[in-house]
Chain A
Amino acid sequence: MTQVASVELAHVVKRYGDVIAVNDLSLIIGEGEFFSLLGPSGCGKTTTLRLIGGLEKPDSGEIYISGEVVNDRPPYERSSNIVFQNYALFPHLTVNDNIAFGLRLKSRRTPEPEVKELVAQALELVHLEDFGARRPAQLSGGQQQRVALARALILRPKVLLLDEPLGALDRKLRKAMQIELRRIQQEVNITFVYVTHDQEEAMSMSDQVAVMRNGNFEQIGSPQEIFQSPRTRFTADFMGACNVFCGRVTAVVAPVAGCALGGTVQIETETGFTLISRNNRELSSGAATSISIRPEAVQVFPENWEWQADNIFDGRIVEKVYLGEVTELKVSLAEKDSIVSRVGSRIDQNFGFKEADPVSIGWNAEDCNLLSD
């Protein structure tokens, strides 16, 4: 590969006392990529970000920005900038002065007319042209967030590090800002490293997503890969694929030439069900495995309904939760097993499902995903 990675971590470790926050992380982020670190709180994603930004020093391992080791460089000598979770706008300065803060420092010595012009451009980029003279306290959360973004972007960093920047915004604004962030990222063409615990956020913006857990990467891949083929039980669960069964492969069906779906496997679960799944891990007969199924892939019909799917079972609704667009139905298959389905609320209403109703439940082999743990 001739292209230099924008950010590279090589076996980075960070401890706080006895707690290992980041455990032997290695990672390559390409130039101009929108890269998300996704994980629950306490998984080390913010520490990873602060390590790249230089606000924390690694205990071992190397951090590279554009091919240079930056381990010993303080944050003010790194070509990275951070958008903080709480925005960290200077309350004693106006929006203009906040945005111009970095430009006016001795290390940059930008002439004042140029500062004015760049600040005006930055305000335009984040659609805050008329707010330059205000104090941060006079802005809404969304506006403050955009000021923080402008303040970091104006320095033209090689990498922009964003620490849950949308966490404090309401849902509608968050959606709008996700699109806005993606637009800005493509406009300025800077590598974005984005920390979030919201899988939807990571899905909608990223080129690559790294799922983190206890200071380690669980899986790195495109949003589609992570979503459709989670490799571990943790990733599957974190991405909302809450139906997991353990079992053993009892038969393997080789891929049929010309058929889009690859090979399939027949799996007998520990609780005695037989399932058909796509063979996305190329398992052979006898292998122990677990399998995850996304709830929206599971269809529910009234009992004795005539329909077709690779896996169909009889069950009984034990719980029903209305979520707005969709309705979540928990269906018990046998005494131990239950499976969660998300059906469109309109479908639910048409069938008039109630708790304790007997139903026919099923899903296709291509919606199954074999896990490696």
Chain B
Amino acid sequence: MNQTSPRLLFIGCMFLFVFMYAPLLVVIVFSLTPTEYGVSWEGFTLKWYQAVLDNKNIQAALKVSLMVAIPCVLISTAIGTITAFTLYRSRFFGRALYQGIIYIPLIMPDLVIGISLLLFYTSIKLELGVLTILLAHISFTIPLTTLVIIARMQRIDRTLEDAAMDLGADEWTTMRKVTLPLLKPGILAAALLAFPWSFNDFVITFFVSGVGSSTLPIRVYSMIRLGVSPVINALGTLIVVIPLILVVIGLLLERRRV
């Protein structure tokens, strides 16, 4: 048993890598070769990347995606922080129920969320567009940000706040000088998780986006319907590689600071 389990673990890891990253590798490889149809390597080119940069539709969609994702992250992180504070700190009637309810969207099918939001927005006569996408994204990222921040909050020693108050800090100063600085990693993590959730979402966005307000995933989907173009391979590669580079840079900076 002791002999075989590391090997089993190794095989398991290999499966994960093959099924997760091999398809990704295929996309990257075919974004770098001029083959337009079919799957064979015919030399190196960057022309599909040029096509991505030149594509006005993609540019417009990227703009919409960022117009949604950035405010969404800011707002849902802020609301998540406040919600976490309230849930963790105050005792009020129905608190446990409220805490349960807030996590339900995490396990609810996107399809159901999408349809219900669509029905809701149409019934209150809200015109579908960037605003409805933003509202939808804020609503489904709040449970995530709340959860991440509460998890961090539970690890903060409450006596630190007692100590701050004992040393003369009132409630507000204690929050500003002790609680928030200690919560910062949690708030950052929440924001970092919420961003891809918003940026990558397809299903819910599909229901609540209007004409002329396509986010990047929606745009990619409508492009695929006209046939898989290597432009999409290039776009896909960029979407995967650029955040990866940013994360690596972030980690390196973090390490240098310590």
Contacts and interface: CB of A to CB of B under 8 A. Distances in A.
Most chain A CB atoms below 10 A, which of B162, B163, B182: B163
Interface string B160-203: 10111111111001000110011000000000000000000000
Which of the four size classes fits the interface of chain B?
10 to 19
B168 A108 contact: yes
A198 B170 CA distance: 34
Contact of A84 (B159, B168, B169, B182): B159
Contacts of B163: 82, 84, 88-90
Contact of B165 (A76, A89, A92, A152): A76
A105 interface: yes
A88 B170 contact: no
B54 interface: no
Given A88-B157, A91-B182, A106-B173, A82 B168 contact: no
Most chain B CB atoms below 10 A, which of A75, A89, A106, A151: A75
A92 B162 contact: no
Most chain B CB atoms below 10 A, which of A53, A88, A105: A88
Interface string A43-85: 0000000000111000000000000000000111000111010
Contact of A75 (B157, B159, B160, B162): B162
A106 B172 CA distance: 12
Contacts of A76: 165-170
A241 to B, nearest CB: 35
Chain A interface, >50% SS class: loop
A101 interface: yes
A107 interface: yes
Interface in A99-129: 101-102, 105-108
Contacts of A89: 163
A155 B167 contact: yes
A137 to B, nearest CB: 12
A228 interface: no
Contacts of A189: none
A74 B157 contact: no
Given A84-B159, A84-B163, A105 B178 contact: no
A76 B182 CA distance: 20
A141 B162 CA distance: 20
A143 interface: no
Most chain A CB atoms below 10 A, which of B162, B163, B167: B167
Given A81-B166, A155-B168, A92 B159 contact: no
A55 B165 contact: yes
Given A90-B178, A92-B181, A101 B164 contact: yes
A365 B11 CA distance: 80
B167 to A, nearest CB: 4
Contacts of B168: 76, 102, 105, 107-108, 155
Interface string A260-279: 00000000000000000000
Nearest to B181: A92
Contacts of B182: 91-92
A258 to B, nearest CB: 55
A329 to B, nearest CB: 44
Given A92-B181, A92-B182, A74 B165 contact: yes
Contact of A74 (B160, B170, B178, B181): B170
Nearest to B156: A91
A31 to B, nearest CB: 21
A92 B167 CA distance: 16
Contacts of B162: 55, 75, 82, 84, 88
Interface string B55-79: 0000000000000000000000000
16 contacts: A54-B166, A55-B166, A75-B165, A76-B166, A76-B167, A76-B169, A81-B166, A81-B167, A86-B157, A88-B159, A90-B163, A102-B169, A105-B167, A107-B168, A108-B168, A152-B166
Shortest beta-carbon contacts, A-B, top 10: A102-B167, A88-B163, A88-B159, A75-B165, A76-B168, A75-B166, A82-B166, A102-B168, A92-B181, A105-B168
Interface of B: 157, 159-160, 162-170, 173, 177-178, 181-182
Given A88-B162, A107-B170, 14 more contacts: A54-B166, A75-B165, A76-B167, A76-B169, A80-B166, A82-B163, A84-B163, A86-B157, A88-B157, A88-B160, A89-B163, A90-B163, A102-B167, A107-B168
